[in-house]
Every structure is written in C-alpha cells, then in structure tokens.
C-alpha cells in the first residue's frame, strides 16, 4: 500500500482533520458558525496508519492546559498523524460510537451493503465537520465503505487559529491528495480555493451539508468559479425535514427545559420565522400549552402560520407581553436592543437559527452551539446572564444526514463522465427516497408496493422515484 504520506505542517497557517481510506485520506473537522466555533464539545481522533487499525479517542474536559498542537501523542498503532486532546480516551470514544450505532440503523445498513461493493474504493476524502460521537460514527461508516482508519485533527476549545491550522494539516499532506471534499459550512472548500487551487484538478466533487456552505457554492457557480460538481445535501428532503422540522420540534422543548426548568403551559411565546425550524418550534410549544405568536416576512409562510393557528404579528406588537422570544430566521438583528429594552424582566431570548446574528447584542449573548448548527442563546435583558447549552441532537437525525452525505459522495465519485458539470446539484430524488427507506425499519414501518397495474396507471417505476421532477416545494406532498 503506497499511502505512506508524510505531510508538512504549515505551522502558522491552519490544519484540519483527515479521514483516510486504503490509499486515501478523509479528513474531518468542523468550523461551526462564527460564535459556535468555540463550542465544539467533543472531538474524535483516529490514526491512519499502514495497518489502519484504528485508535479512536474522545477528549474530555480536562484541566490540561497544553495545546494539543504542542503535544506528542501516538495512537495504539504507533501513528502520530492526528491531533486531539488526549488519545488515551480512544477506548471510551469507541464505546460511545458503538452506542450511537444503535440509533443509526440506516448507516449500518448502508455500511453492511457496501462491504461487498466498496463503492468508495480509491476515494481520498478530506472532510470538515462537527465531531461528536455521532459524526465520529459517520466517519466510521464512511471508512467501512472502503477501509478503516483515518486521522482526525480536532479538539474542544479550538481557537480560530487552531481551526485553520487543523484544516491545513488535513489538506497539506506530503504524498497524499484528496479527490473528494466533504464540507460543512464551506470553510474547507474556501481554504483549498484560496491556498491550493490546483488541488481541484484531481477533485471529483464537493458534498456540502450546511445552508451557509450551499449559499457559498451557488455564489461560486453564479460567478462561474465553481470548478467541480457540488452536491447540495442541505436541501434534500429528508435532511431538511429531519434536521429542521422534526428535530426542532423536540429540541426546542428540551433546550428550554434543561436551561430554565420553566413550565411551558400558559407561557406566551413569539417565534420569529415560520420555516421548517419555526414550524417545529411552534408545533411543540402549542402542544405543550404555550400561546404562540409568529413573525414572518414571506407571505406564504405567513399564511401557513395563520392556517396553523398562530397569530401573525410584528415583533413590536407583542414584545412587552411575551415570556419567550425564539428566533428561527437565519436573518440578522431580528431581536434588537430596542426589543430587549422593552421585554419583561424575566423574558427568555432563545436563538434557534443558524448563527448568532439573529440577536443584535452579540457581546452579551452567550451562544452554545448544538448539533446541526441550531443553538440556543439566551439574553435576559435585565438580571442574570444565562449561558444556555443546547439540547442534544437525536442520533436518528444525524443518521439521516450522514446517510445522505455518504450517498452523495458515492454518487459523485461513481457518476459517469458528464453526468455532473461544474454546478450545484440536488441529490437525485431516488436517493432521497433510498435514504428514507433505510430508516423505515426503525419504526417497524411497512411500505406498500405498487402493483404492475398501478405503476403503469401512475406512469411510475415500481421502485421509484415516486414524485415527478417538475414538482417543486409545496406540490410534492412531502
């Protein structure tokens, strides 16, 4: 196996996590949204050596003040091609991963299926993402599509400088060059564009899962600067519904309860934004007996809020009376200083959006990021400053995202010449459906199959896709 890479570390530049397969690497790291950067809660590291027997490691919050960058660590296989806080906790991490597998049936099914096929054989993937037990497992699953073992560069409490150092360490490796990018936020892609543009010659595609990253890709595409195909995983139906609607429906309750122990019944709440996230929050709070108001800028979403039983207001109209303000807009300065000044004393402000821009008092807002870029910030206008930690993201949700990513990688990597151009693509509907179908056994759900006669009547293939391509939002019945 020729993958005896040695990679130079560009000390003051940046470094990244890597994931490697048989003769390739796959790097993982994550640069969350600006505020969230400091909140990476757990990091995982696994060495990638010739033998690829792995050494997984989860750092705990230790009192060790030495920067991981300055430590000399080796995993159980003797490799030091990684950078984490404490490789000795690898065994604990591995066990957490095994637990997480229980709730990731689809990924397991995919992994099992792939054992024969090895659809990513030859792929050299560099990745940048959040590292938790779940995303670690994601990595494990990806590895198993090919070979085990990949290096990780990540730790809790990375500085911005650390963050870029990790990214660079993943990319700038002697004797090894990625041919696939798995990004979450666009920072890894951005880095390669900026520092190693020639790398794109060998790269077959980018898989991006975040709103921000997708936005950047469309801008690149519009400007004619996108030089490889990119798969917009963020906008796949399954990811959207689960990451946003269903996940937020549960996590809004969990997050508020953990941090405030408040009772929801009878509380007046205003939810800013009635997209999937807002819909999830509203549904949950209404079900728990809160009185919910909604603000919106888009008349279509506004009309939906009306029909779902929520008073559509401007924030000013209710700011004096509400007990909770929840922002789910992706916009900036939705809650302003003026609003904060007019709130009740005990009012809780909670950010469910993607970044901390929604609340215009950055310096006083504590933000702690959770799973899929949805965090809680709380700013009690007078009185105590609450540092709200986000609720956790159910493993099941991550399973859906990870499966979608894996399929996107496989699709891009194996697509015949010409299927994908230098553009941004949505995952083919059939793959969305495949991701969904892999998750049905969890619910003991029994899908009905079309008879030949029915398939013919509907003009559909019995195996899908089941919705025409001309369908767009609101018309496909999802």
Name residues contacting a copy of itself, limited to 370-399 (CB under 8 A): 384, 391-392, 394-397
Q: Quick one: which of 4, 78, 175, 263 contacts a copy of itself (CB under 8 A)?
A: 263
**Can you say whether the dihedral through the CA atoms of 213, 215, 218, 220 is positive or negative?**
negative
Distance between CA atoms of residues 411 and 408, nearest Å? 5
Distance between CA atoms of residues 67 and 33, nearest Å? 22
The C-alpha R_g of the chain, in whole angstroms, comes to 23
257 binds a copy of itself (CB under 8 A): yes
CB 427 → a copy of itself: shortest distance, Å?
Answer: 10
Q: Is 280 annotated as a binding residue?
A: yes
Among 21-29, 48-56, 111-119, 273-281, which window interacts with a copy of itself (CB under 8 A)? 273-281
Q: Quick one: which of 140, 170, 291, 326 contacts a copy of itself (CB under 8 A)?
A: 291
Among 1-9, 146-154, 195-203, 286-294, which window interacts with a copy of itself (CB under 8 A)? 286-294
Helix, strand, coil percentages for the chain (3-state, nearest 5): 40, 10, 50
Binding mask 157-186 for a copy of itself (x = CB under 8 A): ------------------------------
Non-local (6+) Cβ contacts of 293 within 8 A are 268, 269, 270, 271, 310, 311, 312, 313, 318, 322
223 phi and psi, to 5 degrees?
-85, 0
Distance between CA atoms of residues 135 and 372, nearest Å? 11
Residues 292-321 that bind a copy of itself (CB under 8 A): 295-315, 317, 321
351: tokens are 């950010």
Q: Quick one: which of 67, 76, 80, 346 contacts a copy of itself (CB under 8 A)?
A: 346
Q: Quick one: which of 266, 364, 385, 461 contacts a copy of itself (CB under 8 A)?
A: 266
Q: What's the DSSP call for residue 441?
A: G
Q: Quick one: which of 35, 284, 402, 407 contacts a copy of itself (CB under 8 A)?
A: 284
Cβ-count burial of 47 within 10 angstroms (0-12 exposed, 13-18 middle, 19+ buried)? buried
99 versus 362: smaller Cβ distance to a copy of itself = 99
Binding mask 439-458 for a copy of itself (x = CB under 8 A): xx-xxxxxxxxxx-xx--xx
Residues 224-253 that bind a copy of itself (CB under 8 A): 232, 234-238, 240-242, 244, 246-247, 249-250, 253
Distance between CA atoms of residues 478 and 55, nearest Å? 41
Q: Is 275 annotated as a binding residue?
A: yes
Q: Is 118 annotated as a binding residue?
A: no
List, as one string, the DSSP characters of 322-334: -SEEEE-SS-SSS
Residues 181-220 that bind a copy of itself (CB under 8 A): 218
Strand partners for 214: none
Strand partners for 301: none
Q: Which residues are annotated as a binding site for NAD(+)?
A: 275-280, 296, 387
Q: Which residues are annotated as a binding site?
A: 132, 184, 209, 239, 243, 275-280, 296, 387
């Amino acid at each position: 196996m020729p993958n005896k890479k040695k990679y130079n570390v560009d000390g003051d530049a940046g470094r990244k996590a890597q994931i490697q397969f048989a003769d390739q690497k796959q790097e993982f790291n994550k640069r969350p949204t600006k505020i969230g950067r400091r909140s990476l809660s757990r990091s995982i590291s696994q060495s990638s050596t010739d033998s690829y027997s792995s050494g997984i490691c989860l750092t705990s919050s230790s009192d060790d003040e030495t920067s991981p960058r300055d430590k000399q660590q080796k995993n159980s296989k003797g490799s030091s091609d990684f950078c984490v806080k404490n490789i000795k906790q690898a065994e604990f991490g591995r066990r957490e991963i095994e637990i997480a597998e229980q709730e990731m049936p689809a990924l397991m099914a995919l992994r099992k299926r792939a054992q024969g096929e090895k659809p990513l054989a030859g792929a050299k993937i560099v990745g940048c993402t959040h590292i938790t037990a779940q995303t670690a497992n994601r990595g494990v699953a990806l590895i198993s599509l090919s070979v085990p073992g990949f290096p990780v560069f990540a730790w809790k409490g990375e500085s911005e400088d650390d963050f870029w150092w990790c990214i660079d360490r993943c990319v700038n490796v002697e004797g090894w060059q990625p041919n696939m990018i798995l990004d979450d936020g666009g920072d890894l892609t951005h880095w390669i564009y900026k520092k190693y543009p020639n790398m794109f010659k060998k790269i077959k595609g980018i898989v991006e899962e975040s709103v921000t990253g997708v936005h950047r890709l469309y801008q690149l595409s519009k400007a004619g600067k996108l030089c490889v195909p990119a798969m917009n995983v963020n906008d796949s139906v399954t990811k959207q519904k689960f990451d946003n609607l269903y996940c937020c429906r549960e996590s809004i309750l969990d997050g508020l309860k953990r941090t405030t122990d408040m009772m929801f019944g009878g509380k007046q709440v205003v939810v800013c934004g009635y997209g999937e996230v807002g819909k999830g929050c509203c549904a949950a709070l209404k079900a728990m007996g809160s009185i919910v108001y909604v603000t919106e800028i888009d008349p279509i979403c506004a009309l939906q809020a009306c029909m779902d039983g929520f008073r559509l207001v401007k924030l000013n109209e209710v700011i004096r009376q509400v007990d909770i303000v929840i922002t789910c807009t992706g916009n900036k300065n939705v809650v302003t200083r003026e609003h904060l000044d007019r709130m009740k004393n005990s009012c809780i402000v909670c950010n469910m959006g993607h970044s901390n821009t929604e609340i215009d008092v950055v310096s006083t807002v504590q933000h702690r990021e959770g799973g899929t870029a949805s965090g809680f910030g709380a700013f009690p206008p007078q009185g105590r400053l609450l540092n709200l930690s986000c609720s956790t993201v159910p493993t099941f949700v991550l399973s859906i995202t990870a499966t979608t990513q894996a399929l996107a990688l496989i699709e891009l990597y194996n697509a015949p010449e010409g299927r994908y151009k230098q553009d941004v693509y949505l995952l083919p509907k059939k793959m969305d459906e495949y991701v969904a179908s892999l998750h049905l056994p969890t619910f003991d759900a029994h899908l009905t199959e079309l008879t030949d006669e029915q398939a013919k009547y509907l003009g559909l293939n019995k195996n899908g896709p089941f919705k025409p391509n001309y369908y767009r939002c609101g018309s496909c019945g999802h």
